[in-house]
Amino acid sequence: MTTHSRLTRQRFAVVISCLSVLLVCSVLACAMIGPVRINLAEVFSPGVEATILFRARLPRVLLSVAVGAALAMAGTVLQALLRNPLAEPHILGVSGGAAFGGVLTLFFADQTMLPAFLVTPVGAFAGALAAMLAVYRLGTVHGKLQPYTFLLAGVVCNAFTGALIMAVNSMADLFQTHGILFWLMGSLATTSYPLVAASFVYVLLGGGLLLRETRSLNALSLGEESATQLGVDVAAVRRLCFVVVSLLVGAGVAVSGMIGFVGLIVPHVTRLLFGPDHRLLLPASALVGGVFLAGADTLARSATGAAEIPVGVVTALCGGPFFVYLLRRKGGQDFGI
């Protein structure tokens, strides 16, 4: 195991400052990359370059940062609560629940002429919270949370919500079906700065609530009994964290669809680089998650020229082998299975 130095204010400031600079540089670089080359000398003058940069690319890159930060923090917290490195919103069925809630509200919004941008986040949050509660109840055996059972419950929840989504999709018309399917594969296409701002509000609100619980998350990483002996109200911390994770996942899914494996890859890479202390790990994961998803989305929209592939495909291609690596490492001994 890699040895990491003790967390100090100076080390915290240095790491967060360096990652913040990396994030800003990534945003600028990703905004410049695309099928159409941008002339820096022309971007501050009215014209095609300015329109492409500020109306098409920049809001999309900023949205990817918000969604990446939300999913990375959700994965970091779930892995601490469950003491299982395979825990991730997509794998546990939380993203599936959010997607079902979002699809359901999108369908009825079209039928009732309600504004989709208002009802979709509410439906996605409700679906994510319902899936989280269902998986939590199924994963609790004799009053004690069983991480392995929790993962299996997540697989079942994914299958169930997937079937419900297909049922709703079968009742939609051809135009709705195409939009729903593309959204489900993950899409960060937006030209709306208000949508980006609203996404950051959710991320900052959820991140602020989780930062208050980082010491409790450190204690929970040692086990429930150890955390209780250290004075942590395990049940209360879990309830709060599950609700906040549902909020973050619901907000992310509402604006981008299902993007998997960000909450699996980013926490592990960040933990390897900076250690397991959640006081640093959580904000660092948020910044690294923003960098990762911004890069993945840039690859998705520019790798094939004018055509675009869903960003969920890119993250799945990265996350699938990474999941297999974690599953095979030391024969599963690290997972308690």
> Has residue 175 been placed in a domain?
yes
Query: What pLDDT score was predicted for residue 116?
Result: 62
Paired with 140 in beta bridges are 145
CB 183 within 8 Å of CB 257: yes
CA dihedral 187, 189, 193, 195 (to 10 degrees): -30
pLDDT at 117 over 70: no
> Has residue 36 been placed in a domain?
no
pTM of the model: 0.90
Neighbours of 284 (CB within 10 A): 27
> Has residue 24 been placed in a domain?
no
Measured CA to CA, the distance from residue 69 to residue 4 in angstroms comes to: 23
- Each residue's pLDDT tens digit, 214-229: 999 999 988 888 899 9
Measured CA to CA, the distance from residue 310 to residue 257 in angstroms comes to: 10
> Has residue 20 been placed in a domain?
no
> Has residue 11 been placed in a domain?
no
> Has residue 15 been placed in a domain?
no
Pairing mode, strands 140-141 and 144-145: antiparallel
CATH of residue 176's domain is 1.10.3470.10
Domain that residue 163 falls in: 43-327
- Each residue's pLDDT tens digit, 264-320: 999 999 999 999 999 999 999 999 999 999 999 999 988 877 678 889 889 999 988
> Has residue 205 been placed in a domain?
yes
The tally of domains found in the chain comes to 1
